[in-house]
């Protein structure tokens, strides 16, 4: 699939003062949900499917993952899976991962909050997010 067409735009400024994360808003909802998920993942080097948005997470695990990403300071895009049930189901199928948040880096699933925290403590997360070998 060509990645030249990006059917998303950032929803205004980043999520709020100090936030690196920016929710995406789909500009084309006509494609099947799984294709939309693929396009979202490809739209940003670091992508987070979460419950809520960075400045208003709607679950503790999403809030914690956002806090970890913010502590590292890399830009990332997000999508609120509570806003679209079809995307929520398709993201679960695409990842083979039943829960949220889901962190994707350069098109590969990293995992959920527990894995993100483990990688942070092991010193592996920041090099991955910044595209450097650990």
- Residue 63 is assigned to a structural domain of this protein: yes
117 vs 122: CA distance, rounded Å: 9
* Integer CA distances (angstroms), 93 to 34, 60, 69, 72, 100, in order: 8, 23, 24, 29, 12
**Can you give the pLDDT at residue 8?**
39
The answer to the question of residue 76 being in a domain is yes
CA 69 – CA 36 distance, rounded (Å): 24
Does residue 27 fall inside a structural domain? yes
Question: Token pair 């980043």 is at which residue?
Answer: 14
The backbone torsions φ and ψ at residue 78, rounded to the nearest 5 degrees and listed phi first, read -135, 160
Does the residue 2 lie in any domain? no
Residue 26 has what pLDDT?
Answer: 73
How many domains is the chain partitioned into structurally? Answer: 1
**Domain ranges, residue 85:** 8-130
Q: Is residue 52 a part of any domain in this protein?
A: yes
Which residue in 80, 63, 65 sits closest to 26, CA to CA? Answer: 80
pLDDT of the chain, 134 residues: tens digit per residue: 333 434 433 344 344 445 678 888 776 788 999 999 999 999 999 999 999 999 999 999 999 999 999 999 999 999 999 999 999 999 999 999 999 999 999 999 999 999 999 999 999 999 999 987 55
């Amino acid at each position: 699939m060509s990645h030249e067409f990006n059917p998303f735009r950032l929803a205004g400024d980043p999520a709020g003062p100090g936030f690196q994360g920016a929710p995406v808003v789909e500009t084309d909802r006509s494609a099947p949900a799984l294709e939309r998920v693929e396009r979202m993942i490809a739209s940003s080097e670091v992508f987070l499917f979460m419950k809520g948005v960075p400045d208003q997470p709607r679950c503790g695990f999403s809030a914690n993952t956002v806090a970890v990403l913010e502590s590292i300071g890399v830009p990332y895009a997000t999508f609120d899976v509570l806003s679209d049930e079809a995307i929520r189901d398709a993201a679960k199928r695409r990842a083979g991962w039943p829960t949220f948040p889901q962190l994707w880096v350069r098109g590969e699933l990293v995992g959920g909050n527990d894995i993100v925290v483990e990688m942070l403590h092991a010193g592996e997360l920041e090099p991955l997010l910044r595209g450097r070998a650990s």
